[in-house]
Amino acid sequence: NVSNTVDIQVGEQVPYLDTPFAVPGPIEAGYYDKFEGGVGQNISYLDLTVTNIGDFRTDEYVDATIVNNEGATVGWNSEGEWLEYSIDVETTGLYNASIRYASGNSNGGGPIHFEIEGTTVSPSINFSSTNGWDNWQTKNVSNIELYEGTHILRLAIDGGEFNIGEMQFSYTSAL
């Protein structure tokens, strides 16, 4: 007789492109970290549905897709979801982020915020409507605190109704 069963996942969270994203520099939203042991749900991301509505990384639950001129994007975002990215920050300081996004919701979307190892490092970020899910614009955000070294950057979704593309981080000043 079997009274209990246990599933064990073995592996580590690793960068999707095998090396952490260099900061300053770009991060494509669809290149969130992967899990060596299989599906990364609750390890490198949390998606509240167990199907990928997109056409990219279809073995994962995140709704990722490739968009012409935007790259690997993530859409169908909902409150409570998150994505993690391995990053290598060159210099401790304040950074700006230029975030590509689209929102067909008349009220826009978000907010989102960034965390490093459980600590919020950015202001709350809201997105205005772009009048279409394929009408991409850039949102500029200031005062993101990053520290030199290798870290896990979490994009926490506090409210949905937006698609997210490339996030370009640039150094602005010392802390």
- In three-state form (DSSP H/G/I as H, E/B as E, the rest C), the secondary structure along the chain is CCCCCCCCCCCCEECCCCCCEEECEEEEHHHCCEECCECCECCCEECCCCCCCCCECCCCCCCEEEECCCEEEECCCCCCCEEEEEEEECCCEEEEEEEEEEECCCCCEEEEEEEECCEECCCCEEECCCCEEEEEEEEEEEEEEECCEEEEEEEEECCCCCEEEEEEEEEEECC
pLDDT at 159: 96
pLDDT at 82: 98
Which residues are registered as beta bridge partners of 171? 95
CA of residue 73 relative to chain centroid, distance:
9
CA nearest 155: which of 28, 57, 8, 54?
28
pLDDT at 9: 66
CA nearest 120: which of 145, 94, 90?
145
pLDDT at 163: 98
- Residue 119, amino acid: T
Q: What is the pLDDT along the chain (175 residues), one digit of tens a residue?
A: 777 777 766 789 999 999 999 999 999 999 999 999 889 999 999 999 999 999 999 999 999 999 999 999 999 999 999 999 999 999 999 999 999 999 999 999 999 999 999 999 999 999 999 999 999 999 999 999 999 999 999 999 999 999 999 999 999 999 9
